[in-house]
Amino acid sequence: MRLTDYITPDHVKIGLEGETKEEVIEELVELLAGNCEDCDADKVLEVVMNREREGSTGLEKGIAIPHAKCDAIDSLSIVIGISRDGIDFEAIDEKPSHLFFLMVAPMTESGPHVQAIAKIVKMIKIDSFRESLIKAKTPEQVVESIARVENGE
């Protein structure tokens, strides 16, 4: 599984405008809905927010991976948002989150969803990778950074 099979520049937003966890999730769901033909954005937002209420998906080192399974989409969808200032996402290290990987998978699909989360968690442990995403000036640079790590560069 390659993340770049699911993430194109259209799936990346640099300079998130949201200032709260809820606003960031709404912004990311809008981005996802704009890239998904038969996606019910309201339903996706509802399931992602419900999942977030069960426990924050804010990890450490400025990363958050809000995710959920939902019958409102047909296949795994991933979008990325970047906030240089950082947002309180109730992360486990209590620091602001800067990189957001929103992932929604259909209820009938488990493999790709789990593989994508595992791959993201592995990649974000690389300091230079995280820094390249935060410093990226264009969505294309974000996708290029992901591709470089996937290619072992």
Catalytic residues: 67
Say whether 82 sits in a helix, a strand or coil.
Answer: strand
d(CA 122, CA 117): 9
Structure tokens at 141: 């640079």
d(CA 38, CA 127): 36
Closest of 151, 68, 74 to residue 116, by C-alpha: 68
Question: DSSP string of 13-62?
Answer: EES----SHHHHHHHHHHHHHHT-TT--HHHHHHHHHHHHHHS--B-STT
